[in-house]
Amino acid sequence: MEATGTADAAEWARSMDGDGDAFGALFDRHKDRVFRHACRLVGNRHDAEDVTAVAFLELWRRRRDVRVVNGSVLPWLLVTTSNVARNSQRASRRYRQFLGRLPREPVAPDATDAALDLHPFDGIDQHLGAALRSLSGPDLQLVTLIALEDYSVAEAAEVLRLTPSAAKTRLHRARHRLRAALGGLPDDVTTQTIVAGGEP
């Protein structure tokens, strides 16, 4: 992650002084990875776009409190994306439950809406997304940084304010939970990397 940190350093320093153009450069650099992670967790393009926007808004709003790892803001962004996605999913569930209690006439699905909802989510395994959503917040944050985004245990521990040994213990437990959640599914490369890989 050194190259990312080197590229971020100058823009982040200027962003801390309120430079919107520098922040825009950070957005352009990291938006695709943040969006991809949001897609894993919320499962549709529209909600993932909202989650991505909120994560970057929080980066700007809380820029004085952001924990930077090796000069990069990406680990903090990914953790924030996980938190925003979980909050979004809870709000969506409450909204759906509320709508489910309302009396209504059956409505046939609109073919145009159905077509617009389709999105290929390149490289995103839907079974893996469901398994990730089953993890607790701290476990999801660790798995995101270490197993999905290739940060070291020490780097993840730094951004999450954990000791490296505590991070390793949490990661070990999270991998076991993922194995259980993915039980009976074919071992594709992505799944195997996360739940069966060696300790970083």
Looking at CATH, the fold of the domain delimited by 1-100 is given as Rna Polymerase Sigma Factor; Chain: A (1.10.1740)
Q: What is the pLDDT of residues 95-152, one digit of tens each?
A: 456 566 666 665 555 554 454 454 444 455 677 788 888 888 889 989 889 988 889 9
CA angle 40, 46, 51 (to 5 degrees): 60
State pLDDT tens for residues 26-61: 999 999 999 999 998 988 889 999 999 999 999 999
DSSP code for 70 = T
User: Could you tell me the residue ranges of all domains in the chain?
Assistant: 1-100, 125-200
Q: How far apart are CA 26 and CA 7, in angstroms?
A: 9
CATH number for region 125-200: 1.10.10.10
Q: Is the pLDDT of residue 188 over 60?
A: no
130-157: burial string, b at 16+ Cβ within 10 Å, e else:
ebbbebeebbbbbbbbbbbbebbbebbb
pTM over 0.85: no
